[in-house]
Chains A and B, each alone.
Chain A
Amino acid sequence: MSALLELSDLAVTYPAPGRRSAPLRAVDGVSLRVEPGETVGLVGESGSGKSTIGRAVLGLTRAAEGRISFDGADITRASARVRRALASDLQVVFQDPYSSLNPSHPVGKTLAEPLLRRKGTGRERAGAEIRRLLAAVGLPDDAADRHPARFSGGQRQRVAIARALAVSPRLVVCDEPVSALDVSTQAQVINLLAALQAELGVAYLFIAHDIAVVRHISHRVVVLYRGRVMESGPAAEVCLRPSHPYTRALVAAAPVPDPALQRKRRQVRRASVSTSTAAAVAVDGPGCPFAPRCPHTAEVCWSTRPAPTTVGQVELSCHRYDPGSGHPDAGAPLPGPSPAGNGHGRQP
């Protein structure tokens, strides 16, 4: 069975500031799959290329290398016409609820935009459809006549979700949809996305920097660092029992709202990163991008790009886990406790 969305060796480059320097590889050989009805979380820090991947999938940024296929069809360099046809299957919810809705259009006009483009949708049916959509995302009927300025951030994000779902897409790219929201509103929007998925069977490519949010909503998680995949696998596995040194650092760094547990986690974190971000000099060498901050490096980490290795349910790009890599400690478990164990998590 073919995946709904499949990326293979996707690379996206940007021209570097200097004229003669090589282009920056914002996304560098990323492969991933999203199955129908599934949520795949893309997690990483700024500069990890996670949003760029989303924009490449949506056709808003050109892919330099690799292949993007949707429902088996190659859409890497799809023509404008093919893209327009794809619009009813592929939608987006952006991060900033202030910029993602046209401030001068009433909400109804924004929601009608994708609807009216579809053949055979009259104004009357569009009106009924808009009321149905507003109800589905928990907004009152009269919201259609109001402008975005009259809504809070959370409510705007509901409007953005309604717009994305207006055409019953099969995949929605969610680019940091809750990171601009307050905690209480964030929970509302996450619940809404989950409920809509259960009801409509839509798949999400869920992009976020907050690993707890990603873990909560995703079935599978892909961890990115400087444009490359570090680790991918089932959400609970990756986020609660991280294997890759970078995932470990990421999980250990996220503070949990529990003072006692947080004190313990601080100890764990000391062991998971060797150098501070301030001191780590980024190298564009041939090796592993995380090597400058990794406490487990060997010579091979600086010289060779790690190949994906399957360990249990997860896939890792780390020489430490690849018996054939030549890393002196390859295959042995990482020393030190795993940073996760936040007491509330599902225990194995």
Chain B
Amino acid sequence: MSVGVNTETVAAAGPGRHRRPGDKGTGRARGVLRRPGTWLSLAWITVVVLGSLFASVLAPHDPLDQDLRSIYQGPSGTYWLGTDSLGRDVLSRLMHGGALSLLGSGEAVLVALLIGIPFGLLAGYRGGWADAVISRIAEALMALPVIIILLAVVAVYGRGFAVSMGALGVIFSAAIIRLVRATTAAVRSELYVDAARVSGLRAPRIVVRHVLPNVIAPVLIQSSLTLGTALLIQSGLGFLGLGPQPPAPNWGAGIAEAATAINQDAWLMVPTGGVLVLTVLAFNFLGDALRDAAPAGRGAAATGRFFGHRALPADSDAAEPADDGVLLRVRGLVVSFPEDGGGDQPVVDGVGFDVRPGETVGLVGESGCGKTVTALSVLGLVPGAGHVAEGRILFDGADLARMPEKRLAAYRGKRIGYIAQEPMTALDPCFTIGSQLVEPLRRHRGLDRARARARAVELLGLVGIPRPEQICRAYPHQLSGGMAQRAAIALALTGEPDLLIADEPTTALDVTVQAEILDLLRSLQAELGMAMILVTHDLGVVADICDRAVVMYAGQVVEEGTVDQIFTAALHPYTRALLRSTPEREATAGPLPAIEGTVPLPRDWPAGCRFAARCAYATEACSAAPVPMLVRDPAPGGPRAARCIRADSWKAVDHERAAGAV
């Protein structure tokens, strides 16, 4: 009997903080409704409720009618579910007992809601002492031994369910209070509530307009689960003989009677327990379905692929020779994610670039262009159900995309290091910095614990952390963002990798800290000679630290070249427009030259040039067919290429327009 209602799982269905534009909450709700289980549950509950409420009309027999000649009969045409020890019809007894059970559970839930919702709202919205007092009382209620208390209530107020179920409702109200309080507090901290306050809305209006709608879904879920729990507890009391006086039927007592007669007629256990199990199951199932339908519902399902990248099948094409001094060569990379309606949607579409030893390549682009997914696919760490669908990822001559997980794992950390964007969440909060460094150090370098510890301190010193011995013993939450990022860099360096992949390593940091981290990466690179892929949206960061830049737009590479080429002589209209729209470049007053429109979502990608819709220079030819990368003079600084049909005549176009404008 699960008396402790698990609020924490329900609270997850509260208001979602960051829903992305692509989210399809309504689609998910429809999916839940389409599940057969949802309908089966609803149908079962309807049948039970109607059958119980109209038992006096619908029941085939009088529940108290004894027929001592036909005791312990199995199911038959006359007695659909058989008869009990006194020859009474089991089905009719279940139907008549059901009304009592359902009303009692309903009473408990109703009482819980009537107490829980107002007090939860008050505690969550007001905060302060009201919250302190209400939360303490709820906490005390949740610490009550429910069954014992109910027994005591029965002892005082006598048999029957009316009082005891009311008392159960009071105890259950604690779970509702906690849930409503948590949801309300979460909504209360949303900026749209602040905006409503600034707009002059009064507190009751804000609660009705913004808070209550958010509270309804989790409360519904909790109510459904609580109904099931109340039903179980109530039948427990009935089983103990604490329901109404004996000849009157109730579900729990029915099981008790069946239990005493189990040696004569085991069948009796099936209908008496079955109706209870199925009803509770239906309530639980509905609760789960509601939770899944809620916008910020359950989220991850076990995909079973957290711990393995899906390797492409090996092919006969011999890998390109790696002796041209390229460390990483990505060619024709396609990364796809499964769509809701079935099928795969590529989000990275034919990406290719090279990284040579010791050089820093910037993967630049706005959000949603596929730069992070590209970088993670090199490590075989594409998030969720995404996977590399095509292409080659040649690292040191070996194709990582076709490598089984076991072999690829040996590359992670040892040959290829990784730094994440958000330093405060990139380190395990439950372990000290030292122990997180020691683990890979022992694995990669085969050091014993003491040596690994010494090396960890050394690495922390190397990344510019003062008092490294002390930081070694610290937990991540005790560090500032800049310090945590230094520690994360030290973690990435444990295997002394040849290639470091840094995914927006400074985006979450203050600008003065960013400058220091970039300096650190620069000096580490000079010292250790590793190559680096820097994923960033910040053109200033690219200019500061990169040798070459790969500009991405809508899943494709649109331009590639050295940073000097990219920043002084960009070939692609997107690169040019991006550069001009940064306020750093435009010191004079007046409007910034913005790019109108937005980056198209993967499902809206056009067949032709993906930037055409926003491009000032687009012609019909741009949208006619996919635009290939035009590679220009392979210069000593690496490939120079752009995906624009005018890449070669770009300068001429620019001059024409300038002339026309005058």
Contact = CB atoms under 8 A, between A and B. Distances in A.
The answer on direct contact between A and B (beta carbons under 8 Å) is yes
Interface of A: 45-46, 55, 58-60, 80, 83-88, 90-92, 94-96, 98-104, 110, 113-114, 117, 149-155, 160, 163, 167, 182-188, 190-191, 194-195, 209-213, 215-216, 236, 240, 249-250, 252-262, 266, 269, 273, 276-279, 342, 344-346
B612 to A, nearest CB: 15
18 contacts: A46-B510, A59-B198, A60-B197, A87-B199, A103-B15, A182-B599, A183-B537, A188-B596, A209-B510, A215-B583, A216-B589, A253-B512, A253-B515, A255-B518, A256-B584, A266-B544, A278-B480, A342-B587
B592 interface: yes
Contacts of A103: 15-16, 19, 295
Interface stretch (B68-76, B243-251, B574-582): B574-582
Contacts of A256: 540, 543, 584-585
Interface centre among A216, A279, A346 (most CB of B within 10 A): A216
Given A183-B539, A278-B482, A255 B515 contact: yes
B143 interface: no
Interface in B201-241: 201-202, 209-210, 213-214
Given A87-B198, A114-B200, A183-B366, A262 B540 contact: yes
A146 B38 CA distance: 29
Interface in B303-343: none
A221 to B, nearest CB: 13
A250 B514 CA distance: 11
B587 A345 contact: yes
Given A87-B198, A98-B17, A191-B594, A45 B585 contact: no
A104 B482 CA distance: 37
Interface stretch (B157-165, B187-195, B634-642): B187-195
Given A100-B192, A183-B578, A187-B593, 5 more contacts: A100-B194, A182-B537, A188-B596, A253-B514, A266-B519
A341 to B, nearest CB: 10
Contact of A91 (B21, B198, B564, B592): B198
Contacts of B201: 113, 117
A58 B214 CA distance: 25
B210 A212 contact: no
Contacts of B598: 152, 154-155, 185
A190 B586 CA distance: 13
A274 B564 CA distance: 30
A346 B544 contact: no
Contacts of A273: 512
B567 A258 contact: yes
B357 interface: no
A13 B397 CA distance: 59
Contacts of A100: 190-192, 194-195
A2 B229 CA distance: 65
Nearest to A94: B191
B21 A149 contact: yes
Contacts of A186: 581, 583
A99 B192 contact: yes
List the 4 closest pairs (A to B, CB-CB), nearest first.
A255-B540, A87-B200, A187-B594, A257-B539
A165 to B, nearest CB: 12
A255 B538 contact: yes
A277 B512 contact: yes
Contacts of A258: 543, 567, 585
B350 interface: no
Contacts of A46: 481, 510
Nearest to A182: B366
B9 interface: no
Contacts of A254: 511, 540, 584
A45 B594 contact: no
A103 B563 CA distance: 41
B588 interface: yes
A190 B541 contact: no
Contact of B511 (A154, A155, A209): A209
A249 B540 contact: no
Given A209-B511, A255-B538, A216 B583 contact: yes
A104 B584 contact: no
B516 A278 contact: yes
Nearest to A148: B19
Contact of B587 (A150, A163, A344): A344
A64 to B, nearest CB: 17
A344 B198 contact: no
A152 B544 CA distance: 30
A9 to B, nearest CB: 24
A342 B592 contact: no
A144 to B, nearest CB: 17
A94 B197 CA distance: 13
Interface string B498-518: 000000000000111111101
B510 A212 contact: no
Contacts of B195: 92, 94, 100, 160, 163
Interface string B244-273: 000000000000000000000000000000
A344 B585 contact: yes
B366 A90 contact: no
B198 A58 contact: yes
A46 B486 CA distance: 18
Interface string B540-563: 111110000000000000000001
Contact of B582 (A110, A195, A252, A257): A257
A346 B200 CA distance: 42
B154 to A, nearest CB: 44
B513 A259 contact: no
A249 B511 CA distance: 10
Interface in B580-636: 581-589, 591-596, 598-599
B532 to A, nearest CB: 16
